[in-house]
Structure 1
Amino acid sequence: MDSPLPDSHSPSALLPFLVCCLGVALFSVMDAAMKGLSLSIGLYNALFWRASTGSLLGLVLMLATRQPWPTRAVLRLHLLRGVVVALMASLFFWAIMRLPLAEAIALSFIAPLIALYLAALLLKERIGRRAIGASLLGLVGVGVILSGRMRGGYDLNALMGAGAVLLSAMLFAWNLILQRQQAQLASPIEVAFFQHLVMLGVFALGAPTWAILPTGSAFPLVVLAAVLAFTSLAALAWAYARAEAQRLIPVEYTAFVWAAIFGWLAFGEPLTPTTILGALLIVAGCLIAARTKRAEIAHVEVGVA
């Protein structure tokens, strides 16, 4: 049974929010590290060695904290989310090798809107008119960002990157639902460990053909990316276990600010007006959808009372 969640106005509700902010910020730094690593040693090796290092770190923490082995049902959830995240990460990091970080993050913001329809499909939730309108607003935002890509020249490579981000966002929407279920059943260390372990199992299939040992400056980046990924996963799992997803998902939008900063500092990436406008439209759509959902919940609670 889920533990009671704190009221959004209580002091105890602030800590999950702050921890979630920290988790998103660390993930944004990790995205920049993974972009540099992927450009240095290739996408496959960046993912494979990050998963290997994260799994080793997780194993040490699992043993040090005497974490119990999960039940079969929880293990199946770990396996499912790990495979989903492996595919999601492959698409996203392939995309950011071809797109500025801020632009890729902005496109990925469509995920909460996709999650609405997944929730309707998987959880049989009803989608209201305002939620549909919010989705259309988000799609307009995606169109604005893509229009900036096609203006003044048809960059097929960048458009393929944008398509990969949108496919990744579909998987991320599913991941948001799985993340909430997982956080209620497992500790943050367990969540982070099994996600890395399952991803390692997926990427290990290609190791005999593609794996190379990282050397020189690549090795510290592998360690940095793994530590950041593990820490941010644990932080988000801790936060989502203590607050409703609808209260924390808007925190994801702060990733755009971090991506713009690190994309500029590390790779000299400019921030275009179409990216900013498109991001604002997508975020507005997500916030409208979130407010609609809260209003429906409040209406149901009043009716029951």
Structure 2
Amino acid sequence: MKPALRHDATATPIVLAAIATGLLTMMDGVVKGLSGTYAPVDLVFMRYVGGTIVVLPILLVVRPPMPSWDMLRAHAMRGVLVLATAFFFFTALSLLPIIEAIVFSYLAPLFMALMARVVLGERVSPATGVAIVLGLAGCLVIALGKGLGSEGFGRDAWGVAAALAAALTYAAAMVLLRARTGSDHIVGIVTLQNVLACAYALPFSLAFGDPGPLFVSAWPALLAVGVLGTVGHLVFAAAYGRAPAAKIGAVEYTSFIWAAAIGIVAYGEYPTIATIAGAALIVAGSLLLLVKPKGGARPALAVEDAGAAPG
């Protein structure tokens, strides 16, 4: 019998998700800096080579249980979604400003809530629903402030399409992650994610890219991306193991706040009034996630479904 997934009613899952979001947004900032020089397919390969280098020593220290065939099958499927997400999002970063790519990625929690309802049987509480609405309202305010009207969308349709595709595949990957965190060790999950995605990306990089110059001239960025991505996903896995997917997914709206901070510190880019207003809505939505449902009821979750969904 597989252990039931945890439902931590404290603020811990929210804090973990916010930290993980910050780490992964910093990783996106590093990738954005390289996207003008290197192809997305090479950047994806670099990201998971770096992740594999960083996670293997952690694996040797923690020594989680050997993966079962069921775990390997499940994460082999999720690895395809992880790879697709990285490729679509890195493509969007190469075509759009980082803030625009992040704004479009905010559709992921909506996809996540729907998938979690269908795949995991999780209920979406009224507070979480309002949080998602506030987050989307914040995205709209920011988008309008950035001029993302009809002209903005027409400016780079491919970038928008790539960002939307990344949001969809990311939501699917995170719901499958939620399904496995009740039975799989976190370090084992992140190790398989990096190793499998690296193996999947290698032939595409060799066939359609040129990874040699990237690894020779940008190896510090390789290590930075590996550390930020691996630690970020370890923390995210811990968060998803403690709370429903819709609740944790909504916290990812705070990536805009992290991106604004990175812009100020690294590039001297200060947020506009629209940015501040949108961020305020996003933060308000995230705070609503701390509200407990009446009676302290927990979301419905079938343990059997959690174990069977990835297969």
Q: Shorter-chain-normalised TM-score: which range?
A: 0.7 to 0.9
CA 1:284–1:242: 2 relative to 1, 3 Å? closer
CA distance in 1, matches of 2:15, 2:126: 32
CA 1:297–1:155: 2 relative to 1, 3 Å? same
Residue number in structure 2 paired with 1:18: 15
**Aligned counterparts, 1:1-305, within 5 A:** 1-3=2-4, 5=6, 8-9=9-10, 14=12, 16-123=13-120, 147=144, 148-150=146-148, 153=151, 156-209=154-207, 210-213=209-212, 214=214, 218-267=218-267, 269=269, 271-274=271-274, 294=293, 298=297
Code of the aligned partner of 1:2? P
CA 1:234–1:265: 2 relative to 1, 3 Å? same
CA 1:255–1:282: 2 relative to 1, 3 Å? closer
Q: Is 1:34–1:46's contact at 8 Å kept on the other side of the alignment?
A: yes
Stretch of structure 1 that moved more, 164-173 or 98-107: 98-107
The percentage of counterpart residues that share the same residue type is 31
CA distance in 2, matches of 1:35, 1:179: 26
CA distance in 2, matches of 1:19, 1:292: 17
CA distance in 1, matches of 2:111, 2:195: 27
Q: Is 1:106–1:279's contact at 8 Å kept on the other side of the alignment?
A: no
Structure 1 residue 57, shift from structure 2 partner: 2.9
Code of the aligned partner of 2:24? F
CA distance in 2, matches of 1:57, 1:297: 39
Q: TM-score, normalised by structure 1?
A: 0.78
CA 1:154–1:76: 2 relative to 1, 3 Å? same
Offset from partner CA, 1:145-183 (integer Å, 9 cap, x none): 555445595564444323322221112221231121222
CA 1:153–1:243: 2 relative to 1, 3 Å? closer
Secondary structure of residue in 2 paired with 1:8: coil
Code of the aligned partner of 1:224? A
Structure 1 residue 37, shift from structure 2 partner: 2.4
Structure 1 residue 294, shift from structure 2 partner: 4.3
CA RMSD of aligned residues (A): 3.7
Structure 2, unmatched stretches of 5+, are 301-311
Structure 1, unmatched stretches of 5+, are none
Q: TM-score, normalised by structure 2?
A: 0.77
CA distance in 2, matches of 1:287, 1:117: 21
Structure 1 residue 65, shift from structure 2 partner: 3.2
In terms of fraction of residues, the more helix-rich structure is 1
